[in-house]
Amino acid sequence: MKIILPNAKELNTNLENHPFAPLSEKSRAVLEALGQMSVADLAAFYKLKEDKAELEADRWYRIAHQQAKSYPAWTLYDGLMYRYMKRRDLTDAEQVYLERHVLIATGFYGLISPFTLISPHRLDFQGQLKVKGQSLKQFWRAQYDEELADEDLIISLASSEFEQVFSPAIQKHMVQIIFMEDKKGQLKIHSTISKKGRGRLVSLMAEQDVQTLDKLRQLTFDGFAYRADLSEERKIVFVRKHVPV
């Protein structure tokens, strides 16, 4: 079983860091493509103002010249989902679980362990970047597929943007997790609640050594509980009641 997480745009570099971690051949190819972009090009690519794009250009420069510091991926990424994970004081069993079962989908490093050392950067699969004549999704597809080739059960906590990097043959093994809120009988999917739920779910799965769908369905947390009537073979739905603030 593997659990697929997305990367995050938000980064936290106020952490203990490590020297620059060498890049794989595929990462160097992505870096070469990005290195051909001017600040103006990066501003258009990221849909940012040029002063913000300069920060991204500086990050890529530091990586290219091996000046960038490195951090464990899941502590560097600091989006809402990651902030709702238990990232400190892990038991040995929790750490082993995360190392064995969790993979983070990235556009620069490929599929990586939460503990892989990476440098600050920003890259997803939405921009129009060509690497060796391929889109970023096409460029990474073979490596992504290879990582999961022998997995019959893949828990996806990622968006379709990341799922579509995989071939249809791999996607058919994915089980999506949906978080919904019941507000006076109206079921809604809320981005903030979903991100928090994903983070909490990963940590709970590690804590309870969840490796089957049956055990996953039994989990309850933060008011969420499995709803069989809303779920399907490849979709598990957790619902909680709306709590007014």
Report residue 26 as tokens.
């595929």
How far, in Å, CA of 156 to CA of 139, rounded? 21
Q: CA-CA-CA-CA torsion for 154, 232, 178, 216, nearest 10 degrees?
A: -60
pLDDT at 134: 96
User: Hey, where are the domains in the chain?
Assistant: 2-241
Q: Does 243 have pLDDT greater than 80?
A: no
Contact 68, 168 (CB under 8 A): no
Quick: pLDDT tens for 60-110: 999 999 999 999 999 999 999 999 999 999 999 999 999 999 999 999 999
* 108-126: average pLDDT: 96
Quick: pLDDT tens for 124-173: 998 889 999 999 999 999 999 999 999 989 999 999 889 999 999 999 99
Quick: pLDDT tens for 176-187: 999 999 988 899
Report residue 155 as tokens.
């828990």
pLDDT at 21: 96
What are the distances in angstroms from CA 167 to CA 138, 148, 161, 163, 174? 9, 11, 13, 9, 11
Quick: pLDDT tens for 181-214: 998 889 999 999 999 999 999 999 999 999 999 9
What count of Cα atoms within 13 Å lies in the side-chain half-sphere of residue 244?
1
Q: Does 245 have pLDDT greater than 70?
A: no
First to last CA, the chain: 37
